[in-house]
Each structure stands twice: as C-alpha cells, then as structure tokens.
Structure 1
Amino acid sequence: MRNVPEGLPPYPGLAGGPVYLDHNATTPVDPRVTEAMLPYLTCFFGNPSSSHPFGAEPRRALGTARAQVAALIGAEPREIVFTASGSEADLLALRGSVLASGRPRPHVITQVTEHPAVLETCRALERLHGARVTVLPVDGDGLVSPDALAAALTEDTVLVSVMAANNETGALQPVAELAALAGRNGALFHCDAAQAAGKIPLDVRTLDVDLLTVVGHKMYAPKGAAALYVRDGVRLEPVVQGGGQERGLRAGTENVALAVGLGTAAAIAAAELADGEAPARTAALRDDLHQGLTAALPGRVHLNGPEERRLPNTLNVSVEGVSGHELLARASEIAASTGSACHSGVHTPSPVLTAMGLPADRALSAVRLSLGRWTTAKDIETAAQSLARATLNPNPRP
C-alpha cells in the first residue's frame, strides 16, 4: 500500500492501481465517514419521523448531521435541506425560486461555464415555465465580470446563479461581489459550491448568498448525499411533494446513513480548513506537479485558468502536440480527466475552455489533474514522469 499523509487513515482502495488525480470527478469515501455511517445501516434503522424509540436515534443523528453541514458554511442547521445529489439541490434552488416568484415571465441570470446541472435546468425553465435566461460570458481566466452582471439585471430578475469554483479549471468566481449586485437589485443569488465546499473556506453570511449547493461525493462522502442551504425567509416551490420532510421542500423519508456521512465529511473538512495545513499541502503538491511537467516539457505546457484565483487542488494544463484524450490513454500510471466530450468516437473541445477563448487545438490538448486528501509527493512524481513519457515517447516499444 502507498504511504499516506501523516494523520490520515490508510485507504485500501487507492493501493495497487494508477495514481488517482480525478478528485473533482469524485472522491473516495473517507474511512472515518464509512465508520460513522455503519450504525445507521445496521442497528439504527428507524424512521426519523417516528415518535417511538426506534425513531429517536436516527432523528438525533439527522440533527447532528444538519448542524455539521451548517457549520462548514456558516449557516444555521434549520437552513440546511438534504437532497440526493447536487443536481437535485440546483434544481430545487433554480426551479423552486422561479416558481415561487409568481412572475409571469421570470428572468434568470447564469454564466456560460456553469455545470450542466445549472445550465440544463435553465434551459428547462425556458422551455417549460416561460422563463427568460441570460447567460453571461467569461474572460480568459473563466471569470464573470461584475459589470456584465450589473448590465444584465432587470426588474424582472428573480435569480442569479453563479458557481463558486469551476469543476475543470478550479477558477474561483467573485461570488460576494456578484451576490451583492443581485441583492441590491432584489434578486436571489444561488451558488453551486459543489467543487468549493470542503476545499476552501466558505461562509454564506460573508458571501451574502441566499442559496448554496453542497455535494458529498466531492468531499469524501458517498454519492447520493448533498444539501442545499436556504437562507431563512427565502421561499421555494418544492421539487418533490409529499410528507413534508426537510421543511416541506424535499419530501421523502430521509436517508439517515447518507446524511450522517455528509455531516461527518463536513466536520472533517471544517477541521482541516481551520488548521490550514491540508489545503496548503495540496496546493504545494499541485504546484510541484505543474513545475515538474514544465521542466520535463519546456515550452509545451500551458496553464488554463487563473494562476492564483483557483482551487488549491486543481491543475488544468494543455500539452502542445498531443490531445488530452490520447495523452491520458498513454499515461496509464495515472487516472485523470479531460474536459472534452466524445461523440461517436470524435472528441470535441471542452465548452468551458472554448468559452474562455481558447482555440480548439489547445482546448483539445487539455487535461485536468485534481489532487486529494491521500495524494502524496511520490504520486506527484509518478504523475509528472508518466505524462512526460507519454508526450515524448508516444509509441513505446512493447
């Protein structure tokens, strides 16, 4: 088994395979999270809405998890609504606010590099509910201009939705400034923080956002666990009708085990952020990887996105002379992603990178390398060597 950073439990799932550098796609479940969940998959099976003793412990655990998620983002526990995914949380925020507004032709503003969970929901709001949607452009670093938002706001604007951090480049949007503009115009502000929560400090009061999405499987909890922060006083139309769970905003008996997993993951992340060592270690390893690639491939490695204003774990680079898809196929010692899409065997450039103004060839040559809690210096050395070899020696002898 590989060595692990000091203070972390070993992670058997990462042993013996490629170096895992795809944490922005999904993270392994922290063993401490798994341990916390197990009693709610075995002993404490009761419905948390039940008034008899079997419901007491699940109800208590659900409250603890809600408080843990709230503490991570500076919210109150009552402002946390558990959902089954980030996509569902985004849907509740966008569709819920549009339908609750009562406007005959509500206006929604988002931006071009948002996750499809937001962009596709906006398209559905246009198609199904008569909404008018404005999609703001981004600059060469992938950032939204506050001036562009100010110019787009109208008296009919119900909601502005801009992500905290981009999933491909790690670019951090000026959320507080954008939210202030929306608030002064009387519009709600939603922030998809799927990639940011647990990686950088977030405080919903400081950001002054009304709605914020947190996703478990991006921060070492299982898939199927997510939450939406809903500021007190914000009205939403429920996406799922039924028994009134989750403040009446998301009906269905709560999945207590998954909520416990999300809460535990949030508590671990909050402790790491308060200490500061883990994010700093990750950023240093990310920069070591970038420097190693640049040294091995002089003049051929180009950073995509901002150099400073990005997540500490994310490195998106284009390597001249090779497509990202081919490069990762040759570099079998690592597991990572490109931003390109494949349709019938033909790869198309990442919409995020093309929206930033990158030419098609550079966008097609991009790879996203996203580090995580168990990434080590040895992993970074292996990754840099593997990518350099795959670039310089595309057809190695068998």
Structure 2
Amino acid sequence: MGSGKRSLTMAAMALTCVCFCAVLATSGPAYASPTPTPTPAPTGTPTATPGPVSNKDLEAVREKLEKLYHEAAVATDAYNAAEEKAAKQSAEIVDLAREIVRGQAKLDDLKDRAGAAARAQYRGGGLPPAARLWLSDDPQQFLDDAGSVRQGEHATKGLLGELARTQQDLEQYEKDASAQWRKLEANREDKAEAKKKIKKRISDAEKLESQLEKEERERLAKLEEEAAHQAQSVWLSSGVLADIKSEASEQGKQAVKYATDQIGKPYEWGAEGPKTFDCSGLTSQAWASAGRPIPRTSQEQWKQLGHVAVKDMRPGDLVIYFDDASHVGMYIGDGAVVHAPRPGRTVTIAGAGSMQILGVVRPDA
C-alpha cells in the first residue's frame, strides 16, 4: 500500500476523533498517537497492515469537505459583497471629486463677482442720500438711480448668500469624500480577510482530497452522488413537483438559456464569466444578459429579490440554499437547477432538492 494510502487510512481514523484538525496541519502521514518502533516479527508470522478505508471513514471525509467548501462559499459571498461595495464607493468618490471641482469653480466666480460689487459700491459712496437729492439737477433721475442702487444692494446680499451656501456645499462634499475613502479602506480590509479565508479553506479541502488514492476518490464521489440523490428523492417524495406548473417569462427563458450555455465551465470563486463562474456570478450574469440586473451575491439576492413559494416557482427563478443563503442555483424546470457547485467542479445540472433549500426568489417578479 502506498504512502498516500497509509496517510488517508490514518487521517480517516483521526476523523472519528476530536483531533481531526491535526491531520490537516501535518504534511506527512498522520497517526492517532505515537507508536514505538516495532520489533521484528518471528519468521513465518504475517505482518499486520492497515485495512482499506471504510465507507464510514470516507463519509467523515465527505462531511469535512462539505464543511470546508461551505465555509469557503460563505467567505466568497463576503468577498464579492466587499468588492461590490468598493466599486460603488469608488464611483461615489469620483462623483464627489467632480462636485468639488465644480463647487470650487463656482466659488471662485462668486468671489470675483462679490469683489466687483463691493468695489462698485465703494466708488458710489460720498455725500448722504438727502444731500445728493437737494443738490441734484434732476431729482427724478436721482430717485431712479437710488432705486437701482437698492436693487444692487439686494443683489449683492443675494450674491453673498449664494457664496456662503456654495462654501458650505464644498465643505460637505469634502467631508463626504473623506468618509467614503475611510469606508473604501475598510472594505479593502474586509475583502483581503475574506480572500485569505477562502484560500485557506480551499487549500485545506484540496490537501485532504490529495491524501486519497484514486479508488478512494471514486468511492468518495459516489458517496457525494448518493447523498445528493437521497436529498432529491426526499424532496420529490413530498409531491412538490406536481404543484410546480408555472411557465417561464420571456426574460426568464433568456436567463435560463444563458446559464445552461455555461455548462461545463469551471467554478472559480469571485468569477462572473465569461470563462469561469462562482454560483452567484452565474445567476447574476444570466439575468443581466436578460436585461434585468440583480444583486451580485446570493445573500443579497435573497434579501432584495421578491420571494415566491417553492410550489409557485418557474424556470428562471433562483433557488437559495442553506440557512446563511451561501449558495444559489437557477431553476430550469422538471425539478432541476443549473449551478456552479464549488472549486474543482464545473457548471452543471443538479436536483433542485439535492441541497437544503432556504427559499426561492424571482428577479422579474
């Protein structure tokens, strides 16, 4: 038996104990406890060798892999959410920067006009109005001029008021821009932390899978298929499929076509196509292609899109999975969804009930 076989055998034994995490932390073969160097067996006595990995042990491996990939999916949603927020905040900062430039130009213009008005008033000073009226050759002209002066004074006051308001707007724009920068930096940190967690979980899962022999990987794949089939059978036995009769909308048909056209393309966390996808990258791009932009992440799709009962779902609707809304697939009819499952897998068709359903949302409700 090869070293990979021994490593998996001992890892599977460790899985049944609390110390499973130690298996992931070691690079060489893992043992449940230190063992002394064996003494040579008497001539003719067969040497004991580890037996094949049992289905029970492989089931423990499957559950651990499922947990690791689920945690990676949750972190992927957090990464995608942070990336989406960062894009919005960057756009808002650009808009604020434009407002600051426009506000500064307006402020400079108002200052020039206010200065000109002040200089004009200064040149028009001198004798009091009563004295100028008594000395005027044309009292009516003086009164007309005095009215113009008052209008000019009112205009100047309005100009100064606008100047003050523009200054306040400019200061607010600068404060808003600073606040957005702080949020952007916080989101960058969130995104970096999520990225680190994703890579760690996927690395742990790949390391665990790499300890399997080819025959064991095949048995593990069958266990995964059996678990999915059993969940789908339970879902179908409820009679839910008999109640699902709704037809897709025109936009729903376009979204389904886009999603099914991607079958066979690899899963990649954070990807939105065209060559690779994660679960919500596939569904969001499918609906974008149908002319209906929707939130980027499965959690936001669950929060923001209209909810419908499972019995009322139609092709194009999104089936949200797990209590934390960390996975999503698109219903395509006949009790099936198209989805991007996890790292190491490709976009594929699966039973809609093969995973724990949280609920159904309709992008074009």
TM-score of the aligned structures, taking structure 1 as reference length:
0.23
In proportion to residue count, which structure has more helix?
A: 2
Larger radius of gyration between Structure 1 and Structure 2: 2
Q: Which gives a bigger RCO, structure 1 or 2 (Cα 8 Å, sep 6+)?
A: 1
